[in-house]
Amino acid sequence: MLAYMNATNSCHSNSADEPFTTPSEEWIRLAAHGQAILLEESGIFKHTMNMLSGSPGMKAVERAVERAILNEFRKIERLGGVLAAVEDRYQRSQIQNAAHRYEQQIYEGTRPIIGLNKYRNGEEDAPEIKLARTPRKKQQLQVDRLAKFKKKNAEKAKRALDNLSAIADRGKNCFPTLLEAVEVCSLGQITGRLQEVVGRFRPMV
């Protein structure tokens, strides 16, 4: 990123398999895509280069961002402030509109996504990357450890959770109580009890 910002004449990215074998076509393509993402997807270098040493470029970006922010503030102020805008679902509508524009730009190709709508090789298959998966035996080991932990600390856990509930119900600082609870309670037990007291966040649709 810094190299591109300072108008580098040459930039090279090694492929992931280069340290131990002759670079393969798949990984060479991904290495090249990394540079293309910086140059095209980010949009930083679309209109101006040498941004760090050429301060007018940074100033232009700064002024554009400032204008956009102040325009949003004015719109919210006209709606009666932040709380009124929330009640009117202004912020939510803006987020939804931005998400729609983003997807539409990808579909139309005006927003380049390397490997998705630009620099595709015409093949559906991508380089095979082996995912890390926990063996079933180790999964069961963790389940058994958790059951043993709950059984061992059953009485202490009840007292700790009751104390946590009382603190949360009074609206006090739960952090010291949480530090005590994690010694004898699982994460599921703690979150379950807190949900009983303060409820569970559900986004408004």
Where are the chain's structural domains? 2-108, 136-198
Q: What pLDDT was estimated at residue 19?
A: 76
Q: Inter-axis angle of helices 136-152 and 154-169, to 10 degrees? A: 80
Q: What pLDDT was estimated at residue 31?
A: 85
Cβ-count burial of 79 within 10 angstroms (0-12 exposed, 13-18 middle, 19+ buried)? middle
Q: What pLDDT was estimated at residue 69?
A: 95
Q: What pLDDT was estimated at residue 23?
A: 82
Q: How far apart are CA 162 and CA 128, in angstroms?
A: 50
Backbone angles phi, psi at 114, to 5 degrees: -60, 130
Q: What pLDDT was estimated at residue 113?
A: 86
DSSP assignment, residue 38?
A: I
Concatenating the DSSP letter of every residue in 61-74 gives HHHHHHHHHHHHHH
- pLDDT values of the chain reduced to their tens digit, one per residue, 205 residues: 777 666 676 777 888 888 777 888 888 888 888 888 877 787 776 666 666 665 676 778 889 999 999 999 999 999 999 999 999 999 999 999 999 999 999 989 888 888 788 877 766 555 666 667 889 999 999 999 999 999 999 999 999 999 999 999 998 999 999 999 999 999 999 999 999 998 887 765 4
Q: How far apart are CA 36 and CA 28, in angstroms?
A: 13
